[in-house]
Structure 1
Amino acid sequence: MNTIKFKIVGLCICLFVISNNIQAQKTITSVASSYTLEATIKGLEDGITVKLTPGATHSSDPAVAETIVKNGKFVFSGSLAEPRLYYLVFGKNQGFISVMLENSKMNLTSNAEMGSDENKRITFKNTVFTGSKSDAYFKKETAYRGDLDKAYAAYHTKESDEVSKLIGEARKEKETKKLDSLQNLPVWKKFEADEKAFFTNVEKSMTDLIVRHKDSWWGPFFMMSQFSYLTPQQKPLFDQFSETAKNSYYGKLADAEVNPKSLVGTSVAAFELKDKEGKSVSIKDIANRKEYILIDFWASWCAPCRKEIPNLKKAYTEFAAKGFEILSISTDDNQKAWNTALTKENMSWPNLLDNDVVSKSFNVKAIPATFLMDKNGTIIATDLRGEALEAKLKELLKS
């Protein structure tokens, strides 16, 4: 009888423990199913907007939420399937703070200093972000970048910087003998060796970080956050991820970049960009009465792009009368540099300045990048340059 009582009591205790564990799990699940970010930032003007903008996406994604500062405070709340990196963007891109949000209660404090310049830039000091284990882990795992910054500064000496400047001037003036002499200086040879070793270390550090996290969403997240863009050449690295990692939010973003869908056969969406005079020009205007249009993405600072211009001029001279047109779209951030390059290169076809939207619609990750479009607006070939472009145009525009 005592044994039976003991078993019954034991069963009751077990049921009580199980019941409480289930209740505790429900409570934890309830708390962990949403997030709240409460921020207090001294020095911010009342009424300034704060946008919650996705980070590590390699695109200019719109804000997912927006609020207004009142008495130096603001709050964001929501829910996430997995932790995400966001930027708190203040005003009209006047300043930002990065935060790794997760389903928890988080707190942010900082001191803001409003700039007196035309853009009224905001700088933040003494920023403290608590309540996000993911944010703390992210910072811990990427602390190696501080060591890389020190290593970079160590081999960029005053002497090497001076030689670098002289090499740039000699290259610009096409002074071959002077250029050869400078590049053979011991200080420059050492600089080149140190730079090669540095970037080898950068690549290894990033790759090691990503591979260590290949079985969770952290792997593709680190891949997206540590690289400015991804290319198909990084597919072997992506292929090491587990299915769980590949199917995560950042896994799908990385997949789209390392396994890009071909644009051949797709239609070019209508768009307008501005020329150097500030006049809006549409792709429809340029394509009017043309058989084939080569859309060429380039930039003034891109040496391979500039090297390709003589080939474009040759193709334009030979095929323009047969219905061939070129539209060069510069991805320059510096319009003055773009204008200078246009004057120097003297390209006689339409030249427009990208707005960061058009290049992304073509999934441009690196330049030069070209897309050959027919008169119906369909892309029929990509990345044609030099002899390959000439051969394709001869095939299409047979007399």
Structure 2
Amino acid sequence: MKTIKITGMLALLLCAMVTLAFRAPGYTITGTFMGLTDGTVLELVPSGSHDDEKAIGNATVKGGRFTFTGSVTEPRLFRIVAKGYYGGCQIMINQKATNVIVNAKASLSERNGSKFLDLQDLKVSGSPIHEEYLQKVAYREQLNQEHMAYNKRGEAIAKQVSNARRDKNNAKLDSLYKTEAYKTFEAEERAFFSNVTKTSTDLIMANKDNWWGAFLMLNAYSYFTPEQKPLFTSLSKNAQESYYGQKIKEELFPKGFLNEKAPTFEAATNNKKDASLIQLVKGHKYTLVDFWASWCQPCRKSIPALKALYEELNPKGLQIVSISIDKKEADWLKAEQEEKLQWPSYLDKGATSAAWKIRAIPAMFLLDEKGVVVAENVTIAQVKELLK
């Protein structure tokens, strides 16, 4: 009997040791943001990708102090933000960064209708990979300086061109385009963006054999087009299969939703009412889901054509649903009022555009009466052709 008990205890101990061996290494981020009032809620948000990722942890400030705990299986970039605010700071951690300390002077402010967490004298310690991250992305500051410099030199001519475009004064524009000042500005702009491409590509290729290559590729581009496929395929297998490599792959080689049920729909109307996609497609042969934003000029320019399409085909069974990805509700409401949309209009509550893998707008999807995607990333002309 004693032998059985001892054996059972040994088995439990071995199981515990195996569990600990395979458990992801844990991290603790201890911070002091002096200047924040007690009760301020901070969030730890995954960063470094093009996704609008959700917070994976929150902490309440007390005496300026806060703590986040969690685990990672490979290097990840995180952002510490105040809930409902922009700004904050970024921290790179990996399995070895078990005890990270973050110190800064902090304040909450509001500028141009947006709220910000402003940090000064930021210091991050306890994460060697964070120091490496700062070195890897230092080139961006140099590029920012060059960008400001050539724009400063061409400020006068750029302002004249902008005013002429605003006034739709084509004769004035033609005259300005022929000046030496504009030719110089245009040449410097081309040289700058050529340098941006070369600098970022060289850095990516210098790190192509590990996850840094994929991370730096995400860091260099705001979005991807098919033109970046060769750059991605030049990365090593390890880089492509890393967390950030998989994020790039999802964008460059999207699976799509064709012949599948439409993804998550979480959006609200201007009177705060939610609606399900099932409700929206009900009673309609087809539904065109249009993702747009107040700041997207191509989106705004396409609205007259959408109205014409709606007027022609709505009596025959076509519904249109507009989903704005605006961050500010006020911006969406203003644009919605200006455009006077004749069909259901919603503001994304945060999860919809990510679920539909929206990378650029306008983006349109055609659904059948059961909510199944029958065409994706279509143009208005293609929709008309499909529905003949």
TM-score of the two chains, using structure 2 as the length reference: 0.83
Distance 2:365 2:43 in 1: 35
Cα drift, residue 357 of structure 1: 2.1
Residues 215 and 241, structure 1, Cα contact 8 Å, conserved in 2: yes
SS at match of 2:88: strand
**More off after superposition, 362-371 vs 347-356:** 347-356
Larger Rg: 1
Q: Give how far 1:38 is off.
A: 2.8
Q: Distance in 1 between matches of 2:114 and 2:178?
A: 45
Q: For residues 238-265 of structure 1, what are the alpha-carbon distances to aligned partners after superposition, in whole Å with 9 as ceiling and x for unaligned?
A: 1112121222222222221211112111
2: CA distance, partners of 1:205 / 1:336: 38
Greater Cα offset, 80-89 or 338-347 = 338-347
Contact 1:270 / 1:284 at 8 angstroms: preserved in 2?
Answer: no
Name the CA distance, whole Å, in 2 between partners of 1:174 and 1:337: 25
Q: How does 1:6-155 map to 2 (within 5 A)?
A: 33-93=25-85, 95-102=87-94, 103-104=96-97, 105-115=99-109, 121-155=116-150
Give secondary structure in 1 for the equivalent of 2:140.
helix
How far is 1:279 from its partner? 4.9
Shift of 1:364: 0.7
Is residue 270–residue 282 contact of structure 1 (8 Å, CA) maintained in 2? no
2:254 maps to what in 1? 260
Match of residue 204, structure 2, among 207, 210, 216: 210
- Do the aligned partners of residues 353 and 168 (structure 1) sit closer, same or farther apart at CA in structure 2, a change above 3 Å counting? farther
RMSD: 2.9
Indicate how the Cα distance of structure 1 residues 287 and 171 shifts in structure 2: closer, same or farther if over 3 A, else same.
farther
* Farther-moved stretch of structure 1 (109-118 vs 322-331): 109-118
2:8 corresponds to which residue? none
Contact 1:231 1:365 in 2 (8 A): no
Counterpart of 1:82, as a letter, is E
- Which of 211, 230, 237 is the equivalent residue of 2:231? 237
- Indicate yes or no: 2:173 matched with 1:198: no
Q: Does 1:370 align with 2:367?
A: no
User: Residues 253-309 of structure 1, C-alpha deviation per residue, up to 9 Å, x if partnerless?
Assistant: 222121111211111246353345555454344323111111111233333333433
Deviation by residue 1:299-335 (Cα, 9 ceiling, x = unmatched): 3333333343343333333322211122222333455
Between the aligned partners of 2:333 and 2:115, the Cα distance in structure 1 is 27
TM-score (norm 1): 0.81
8 Å Cα contact 1:233-1:258 kept in structure 2? no
Letter in 2 for 1:154: A
Contact 1:56–1:224, Cα closer than 8 Å, also in 2:
yes
SS at match of 1:222: helix
Question: Do the aligned partners of 1:232 and 1:260 also contact (CA within 8 Å) in 2?
Answer: no
Q: 1:282 to 1:191 in 2, by over 3 A?
A: farther
What is the one-letter code of the residue matched to 2:149?
A: A
Structure 1: which 5+ residue stretches go unaligned? 1-28, 395-399
Once the two structures are TM-superposed, the CA of residue 190 in structure 1 deviates from its matched residue by 2.2
2: CA distance between counterparts of 1:154 and 1:303? 27
**Displacement of 1:120 after TM fit?**
7.0
* 2:104 alignment partner, SS class: strand
% identical equivalent positions: 37
Larger mean CA deviation between 369-378 and 215-224 belongs to 215-224
- Aligned mates of 1:249, 1:193 — CA distance in 2: 38
Helix, strand or coil at the partner of 1:137: helix
Alignment of 1:159-308 (within 5 A): 160-269=154-263, 271-276=265-270, 279-308=273-302
Specify whether residues 276 and 52 from structure 1 end up closer, same or farther in structure 2 by C-alpha distance, changes over 3 A only: closer
After superposition, the C-alpha distances for 1:146-177 in whole angstroms (9 at most, x for unaligned) are 1111111111127x444444434433443322
Amino acid across the alignment from 2:358:
V
Number of aligned residues: 364
